[in-house]
Amino acid sequence: MIRQKVGAVLVIGGGISGLQAALDLAEAGYFVYLAERTGAIGGTMARLDKTFPTNECAM
């Protein structure tokens, strides 16, 4: 079933939370604009090598 777009939202911040919010809003039928002040998305998580407590690769 194809949903018709119902509006537009601006998500500020391209970190993990911002990306998840943008995906959820897009699935709900909104047009999403994502604004990030740096040249890359991913936030702090993109700079990490391993995560606690599982020691898994963050990428």
For residues 56 and 33, the answer to whether their CB atoms sit within 8 Å is: no
Q: What is the pLDDT of residue 25?
A: 95
Residue 16 placed within a domain: yes
**Quick one: DSSP state of residue 43?**
G
How many Å apart are CA 33 and CA 12, to the nearest integer?
A: 8
Residue 1 placed within a domain: no
Residue 24 placed within a domain: yes
Predicted confidence (pLDDT) per residue in 5-58, tens digit: 679 999 999 988 999 999 999 999 999 999 999 888 887 777 777 777 787 776
**Residue 32 is part of which domain span?**
8-57
Element (H, E) at 16: helix 16-27
Q: What is the pLDDT of residue 7?
A: 92
Q: Is the pTM of this model over 0.75?
A: no
